[in-house]
Amino acid sequence: MTKTPDNAAMNTAITMYTTEHCPFCSRAKALLAARGVTQITEVDVDQSDAALQEMMQRTGRRTVPQIYIGERHVGGFDDLAAADRRGDLARWLAGSETMALPQT
């Protein structure tokens, strides 16, 4: 079966370190939703110091959101939006960087 970004997005595990009141987190979630993502595992770093420590250790950053697509660290909202503009986001959501995008 041919993968499309839409159906692949549902099979791509996305983890987002967030806090409840975080405009950049909302923007990141809205952008991912617009690209067909239906499920995001959110880790609220305000609720758990262990989660905050994990995020900082894993990413080297302390701002939220911090977004992972599978094991790939995308970064924050700015990084996500830049990846979207470059066309990388669609490839990552499709599950393979090496997969050729359909020619239009």
Ligand X SMILES: N[C@@H](CCC(=O)N[C@@H](CS)C(=O)NCC(=O)O)C(=O)O
Which residues bind to ligand X, rule: CB under 6 A? 22-24, 62-65, 76-78
With H, G, I as helix, E, B as strand and everything else as coil, classify residue 63: coil
Pick the closer one to ligand X by CB: 80 or 90.
Answer: 80
Q: Taking the complex as a whole, how short is the minimal distance between the CB of residue 99 and ligand X, in angstroms? A: 27
Pick the closer one to ligand X by CB: 5 or 65.
Answer: 65
Pick the closer one to ligand X by CB: 29 or 94.
Answer: 29
Q: Taking the complex as a whole, how short is the minimal distance between the CB of residue 103 and ligand X, in angstroms? A: 32
Pick the closer one to ligand X by CB: 3 or 24.
Answer: 24
Strand duo 66-69 + 72-75: pairing: antiparallel
Angle between helix axes 77-86 and 23-34 (nearest 10 degrees) is 30
Q: Taking the complex as a whole, how short is the minimal distance between the CB of residue 65 and ligand X, in angstroms? A: 6
CA angle 35, 18, 22 (to 5 degrees): 90
CA angle 36, 27, 48 (to 5 degrees): 100
